[in-house]
């Protein structure tokens, strides 16, 4: 084996890509070639040195990484909270339901009545009110065929 082929095999060995049968051939060449043996030793020492450097850099960056993971966890929790809250559809779903109810009420409202529309000047209204320390109660009687209304107004003073 020549030194050029051995150099390629040394790099493949460092990457863990050299098959076992070729590794035995490379070991034979390294035993007889001090230049390739020193290249193999230098490349083989590079891996542990890089791992050590990576460990040192990881310890230097650990506080920043911890802070980043704290922000990521907070973002995940915030996202979960947003999914637990009802969506805008759920919050506003009552509007179409109210519109549908109003339309149904209009559809079934009796249209064939022989009464004319009410006007305030045509009312015969009798108002009785009772005031107390807590509230004012008013009874409004609009006549025989109209409903009786009771208003209770709480005083804001108390």
Strands (E), 2-158: 126-131, 135-141, 148-154
- For every one of its 158 residues, what pLDDT tens digit does the chain have, with 9 covering 90 and above? 899 999 999 989 888 889 988 898 999 999 999 999 999 999 888 878 888 888 888 888 888 888 888 988 888 888 887 777 666 666 777 788 888 888 887 777 666 556 555 555 555 555 555 666 666 666 665 666 665 665 566 666 54
Maximum distance among all alpha carbons in the chain? 126
Confidence (pTM)? 0.36
| Rounded CA separation 111/105 (Å) | 12
Cα dist. 8→3, 17, 34, 95 in Å? 9, 11, 16, 75
Instruction: Show me where the domains of the chain are located.
Output: 3-84, 124-158
Strand partners, 152: 137
């Amino acid at each position: 084996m020549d030194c050029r082929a051995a150099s390629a095999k040394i790099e493949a060995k460092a990457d863990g890509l050299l098959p076992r049968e070729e590794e035995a051939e490379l070991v034979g060449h390294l035993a007889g070639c001090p230049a390739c043996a020193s290249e193999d030793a230098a490349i083989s020492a590079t891996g542990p040195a890089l791992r050590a450097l990576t460990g040192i850099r990881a310890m230097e960056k650990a506080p920043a990484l911890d802070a980043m993971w704290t922000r990521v966890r907070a973002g995940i929790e915030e996202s979960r909270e947003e999914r637990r809250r009802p969506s805008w559809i759920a919050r506003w779903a009552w509007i179409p339901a109210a519109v549908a109810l109003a339309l149904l009420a209009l559809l079934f409202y009796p249209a064939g009545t022989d009464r004319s529309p009410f006007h305030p000047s045509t009312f015969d209204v009798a108002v009785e009110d009772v005031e107390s320390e807590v509230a004012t109660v008013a009874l409004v009687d609009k006549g025989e065929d109209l409903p009786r209304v009771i208003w209770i107004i709480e005083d804001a003073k108390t």
